[in-house]
Amino acid sequence: MNAGTDAMMKISPLAGLPPPPDALIDVDKLISAYYDVPDIADPLQRISFGTSGHRGSAFNLTFNELHVLAITQAICHYRRHQGIDGPLFMGIDTHALSVPAFRSALEVLAGNGVHVMAALDGEYTPTPAVSLAILTYNDKRSSGLADGIVITPSHNPPEDGGFKYNPPNGGPADTDVTTWIEHKANEILLNGSANDVKRIPFERALHAQTTHAYDFMAAYVLELESVIDMQAIRASGIRMGVDPMGGAGVHYWPMIAGHYQLDLSVLNSKIDATFSFMPVDWDGRIRMDPSSVYAMQSLIAKKDDYTLAFACDTDHDRYGIVTPGSALIPANHYFSAAVDYLLRFRPDWNQGAAIGRTIASTQMIDRVAGDLKRNVYEVPVGFKWFAAGLRDATLGVCGEESAGASFLRRNGKVWTTDKDGIAAALLSAEMTARTGRDPAQAYDALSERLGTSFAKRIQAPATAQKRKKLASLSARQMTASTLAGDPILAVLTRAPGNNEPIGGLKTITAQGWFAARPSGTEDIYKIYAESFRDEQHLSSILIQAQAMVDAALEE
């Protein structure tokens, strides 16, 4: 990052360093706080589904037992309302609040007679493994369909908890579904959940006839070769290292390495709810974010020891790729190179399958698509917008700016409809094995052919009120006629692909663009920007973008 954008983001002097003791959570206090009662009269302490479920922290009364009980009961109501009566696949990540939330959820699901498929021996379960399980069960079924719950706040700090629902299409729930569940759950809270929630004690729920053990890990690992050319990776002898970041896939990687006989070393197998092994992120907080150069410092330090190294976040739906020559590859660079590779090396895919990308991802993808004569489906932030297209294979590969992606099996059939960091990471090895170039080198070749992109994401503080205001800004509030010296061609508040609200805005010129949107879970907003000119032009876009947004929020 250059000095200008570093100043805007107020980079902590601790960024990239081991966390000091006072940065670590007290796990016992956090779990005790989980059972505290939120003030339902305060709207900030009610249930709110963002782009991927409800997230919050027990410390600020936004992720507590009452929230989980109400959401789970609302999901039970939704299942009955929709006639969903198959099993529910439930997985958890390694955040401290995930285990107590699992206990609460299981009590309600068992109390409502829902058949629950949970991991063997309490094993942690990555998001893509839950998505795959749902799709596998529902394949060729038209009734008795399965759905799922993943208890995770993704890469969020250790004190956070998260709870998301995946309907029978296997992907994140669409807005109409989450709105229904959110409203019903808050109705339960406001009416007094003790009378509305059906639950039984945990030990009874655990041993109920409706609670079943499911081997998510074997089901996922044994199917991986249908989406990744494992034989090519094995034959190449590529030396790989992986950092699971203490996440849900920590035991999946050894099984992958052993089953497919790969030269793959697991560099960190620790599970520690304080995540004390994580270098702190840009603002001095701990995040398990594989797209952050600060959080990835431990792996970057080992870049010369491996042909490729990669990491996944806590629920393993995001990736980070490290190479000796380029260190951490920006997520947009990797996804662009992966799109180009997949569309050239998957001959069994539907040749009309489009590329899915979010509003804040690089326009290099559009250039790749034009080069290969493919269509681009541009949507708001949120992987839910891709689920239907991945399921029916009208979308071949889909990705977000925040290092989340999924793509079809090698035969052109659906793999997962939620993000899959494991497959995305292993794809980097397949690309290297089959082309002789690592993904960073592949992206450099794209740049030589299609133009050089300069892109960056910054974050700035924003209260809950300002985040809400940003989500509802109109194009009329952006009064500037130029951006970094270029005429503004368009200000978008809806995505071109599906005409859905962006939840922020995007401003476009002939040489660059920026998009601004609030975080759904933290008191920050994010600005994504890209220039096809140079770094100075990019810096000018970012500086003006933050000034424009801040001015609009102060009105």
Q: Provide the annotated active-site residues.
A: 154
- Mind listing the pLDDT tens digit for each residue in 271-319? 999 999 999 999 999 999 999 999 999 999 999 999 999 999 999 999 9
- Give domain limits for the chain: 21-214, 220-450, 454-554
* Residue 352 pLDDT greater than 70, yes or no: yes
- pTM for the model stands at 0.94
| Interatomic CA distance for residues 471 and 493, integer angstroms | 9
Mean pLDDT value of segment 44-71: 94
538-548: per-residue pLDDT in tens?
A: 999 999 999 99
Provide the residue count of the chain: 555
3-state SS class at 352: coil
Q: Tell me which of 72-76, 112-116, 193-197 is least confident.
A: 193-197
With 0-12 / 13-18 / 19 or more C-beta atoms within 10 angstroms meaning exposed / middle / buried, residue 83 is exposed
What is residue 1's predicted lDDT score, i.e. its pLDDT?
Answer: 37
pLDDT-based confidence at residue 406 (cuts at 50, 70, 90): very high
pLDDT of 472 over the 90 cut: no
Distance separating alpha carbons of residues 245 and 115, to the nearest angstrom: 31
Please determine, looking at this structure, whether the domain spanning 454-554 carries the CATH number 2.170.190.11. Answer: no
Written as one letter, the residue type at 39 is: D
Rounded to the nearest integer, the mean pLDDT of the chain is: 94
Share of the chain above pLDDT 90, in %: 87
Name the nearest CA neighbour of 137 among 127, 122, 148: 148
Residue 86 has φ and ψ, to the nearest 5°, of: -85, -170
| Per-residue confidence band for 5, with pLDDT thresholds at 50, 70 and 90 | very low
Q: Are 138 and 168 in contact (CB under 8 A)?
A: yes
Using an 8 Å Cβ cutoff, are 185 and 69 in contact? no
Contact yes or no for 455/528 (Cβ under 8 A): yes
- In 3D space, the residue among 457, 452, 341, 356 whose CA is nearest the CA of residue 404 turns out to be 356
pLDDT 10s digits, 106-148: 999 999 999 999 998 899 999 999 999 999 999 999 999 999 9
Domain 21-214 identical in fold to domain 454-554: no
Beta-bridge mates of residue 530: 455, 513
Q: Does the pLDDT at position 10 exceed 90?
A: no
Looking from the CA of 289 toward its CB, the CA atoms found within 13 Å total: 20
The CATH superfamily holding the domain 220-450 is Alpha-D-Glucose-1,6-Bisphosphate, subunit A, domain 3 (3.40.120.10)
State the pLDDT confidence band at 3, using cuts at 50, 70 and 90.
Answer: very low
Helix (H/G/I), strand (E/B), else coil: 301 = coil
Closest CA to 521 of 229, 270, 252, 152: 152
Residue 465 backbone phi and psi in degrees, to 5: -65, -40
Write out pLDDT tens, residues 428-439: 999 999 999 999
Q: What confidence tens digit (pLDDT) does each residue in 521-532 have?
A: 678 899 999 999
CATH 3.50.50.60 fits 21-214, yes or no: no
pLDDT attached to residue 191: 86
